[in-house]
A and B are shown apart, each in its own frame.
Chain A
Amino acid sequence: MPSSPKKRRRTPRQVVRGVRRRARRAAGGVRRVWRRSLQLRVVTSTMVISIAVVAVLGVFLMQQIIATTLQDRERAARSEAQADRNAVLGYLNRPSGDVSKPSVDSGDGLQRGGDSPLSQAVYTLAGRAGAVPRYSVIARNDNQPGEFFVTPNIDPRSIPAGLREEVSKKEAGEDSTHYGDLYYEGRREPVRGMVIGTRLDTSGTMLDSGYEIYHLIPLDNEEETLNSVLRMLVAVGAALVLLLAAIASLVTRQVVTPVRLTRQAAERLAAGRLDERLKVRGEDDLARLATSFNDMAANLALKIHQLEELSHVQRQFVSDVSHELRTPLTTVRMAADLLYDAREDFDPMAARSAELMQNQLNRFESMLADLLEISRYDAGAAELDVDPVDVRDVVLRAVADSEALAERHSTRFDLRLPGEPCMAEMDSRRVERILRNLLFNAIEHGEGRDIVVSVGADRDAVAVAVRDHGVGLKPGEENMVFDRFWRADPSRARTIGGTGLGLAISREDAVLHGGWLQAWGAQGEGSQFRLSLPRVAGAPLRGSPLSLVPPEVEMRRTWRGHMTPVLAPAVADGGNDAD
């Protein structure tokens, strides 16, 4: 019992929700189209405005036509009614002897109608109204029994009581016009028509004043005409609105199409295709827009080319300088080695100088080597020597190389390696150099605390993360660390003789592999560098098996704020991944 109504209650709600969702989606779609299409907006507003104008004009015109048509008809009917009334008076005023002459003599013509003068008059009016009657006549005199005649098949209830009252109130001979339904015998539907009623003006005669004469004019022809005019007006109006919309659409298209082409060209230009140009047709504003666009693109391309040129010259210069410095350095080196080897024989001051010179020469040499290396990258001359290797071996070799330095800084390595081999295609020399650089860097900034090196792997990629617990990085420094000659605190000395180019070269190496080298750091939390590489050389990298933010930091954040457990790392992660 309780479950089924619950179900029933839920279903309509779901339906409503579904409908609402769909409607919202459709509305969203419409809104998007509306916002994006200038053409649609122009056409719509043109249609709305023209519909309003056409409607107002149409109503005005129709009223004018109706008024004119009915006025004409009424004027004609009134004059006809006046003439008929005169005829009726003529019949009624005839001396009674004349009226009932034997009808045999008068033949079959107009003289039908027989004994009553009013009846004869009505017969005459029936004849006047035409073979296909243009109007019907009702004549009556309530003061005299039997004096109530109509022609030919009009139903007397076509005259409303109100009109009779008005006619009897008005002066004799004055018209009262009424528009209403006319009923005919043998016709079910009433016909819209006009009734003109008058009391016969019998002043100056012997007749009594009770003669009422009504002319009933059917207006079905007029109604039909007006209806067809109305239909035509509506059709013409609709056609006009559609035409205007089509014109608006055409005109907007002429403007919008070049603008759209320009937009597409700008998009392609922005994507780096500097040779993109627009076709220029004519001399109008749009053509001038295209010309300006083309000029802009040309200038932009020229400037970019110049800049490229300049940067190439600079790189060449650095490379040349490094090469040129090498020869004198070798000579200096040999001399310094001699001095250094013979320092035992010098006085302490000179011996110390020889040592210093030796140290600085070493640094100078490695800096020169790094400069040469990096200028090779800049020249695009770096090449990969790819072999499948186990990342764990590479890590172990790099750690072994760094052991000595770590001991000097009383730092210990904490290795977290998976149990099974993590094979990947890579240039092991370069990867080893990356890891060495990362480890040196961690030792230098690790302030003697433990350094965690972890290796992760999944189906497509392998990753190595190096975590230190030093001062960490300030926000925004995650990318700057890879810049050439960048240092976190310019006042701090380089203790282990880093050249300032290590991380820059490492990043170039990682990029050469199609991998990522990313940094994370927070003040007081230390920092972590992660190298992610595809398992197969050249395959695109989609994600990393290790997270950029160390797991314990992430967990701590989750504890601290329940609200954003996933968001923060994801943002950091995503933001760096896109780099």
Chain B
Amino acid sequence: MEWIVPFTLTVITASTPLLLAASGELITEKSGVLNLGVEGMMLVGAITGFAVTASSGSAVLGILAAVVAGTLMSLIFAFLTLTLMANQVATGLALTIFGVGFSALVGSGFVGFAIDPLPALSIPGISAIPIIGPILFGQDFLVYLSIAAVIGIWWFLVKSRAGLILKAVGDSHHSAHAIGYSVIKIRYLATMFGGAMAGLGGAYLSLSYTPMWAENMTAGRGWIALALVVFATWRPGRLVAGAYMFGLISVMQLHAQGAGIHVPSQFMSMLPYLATVIVLVIISSDRAKIRLNAPACIGQAFRAAQ
């Protein structure tokens, strides 16, 4: 049974970047904005975090820089789609393509650099408890932050007035505007939050998961994060379950190879998307269910009527 601890640890590290990026996108989508640029924002966050950490030696600075970089990327998106009313799908795709190229350009000088991974926060005594100790109390702080973020988002959406307003804007922007809420401002903030979290997810990859920079190192995790939000039908609790399930699948893929089980790796990397498609089919067969959580205005440009 000694494999349980390392296995669980890898599941947690594989799930955390998904959870970070997806929880940001959840807020963005709840406001009615569909930002398909998560992959690009994660990559830019990853290289920025890595570059700043490598040059300054401070992981904290690196993480902050990644958050700022992700936010700036989302601001490009927000300006194009919310202010200039560009099509959200096309702009999001462009943002991803831009992020891939831009991060590769900036990162070309950092390939092969090595940095120390983020330290695990260990509590003397407790972290030494077998099995539970290292799993629950031996992670780096971004793991705890990702869980805290989801709890915070749940509280925000279900309990707070600001969350109610955010959902209202995503549900019917014309109604929200008529009552007197600033749809564009709220969507800017939600999009920026999504960018910040994607940047953080990227930083987790390059600073903790694999403390190095490689071109295109997110390897589709941004897309999985997007799929996760739909998979979770826009509910934070299911988002955690989904992120850990997808994390588990990606780790099993490695372990299956190690154990000599010949499942094609492509099949395993396909599974998250397959699961999402299946979930989409299931929920669309009962549209009343999805309707209650899906933001009705998602992807639609808002122009205040005269």
A interacts with B: no
Which residues of B come within 8 Å of A, CB atoms?
none
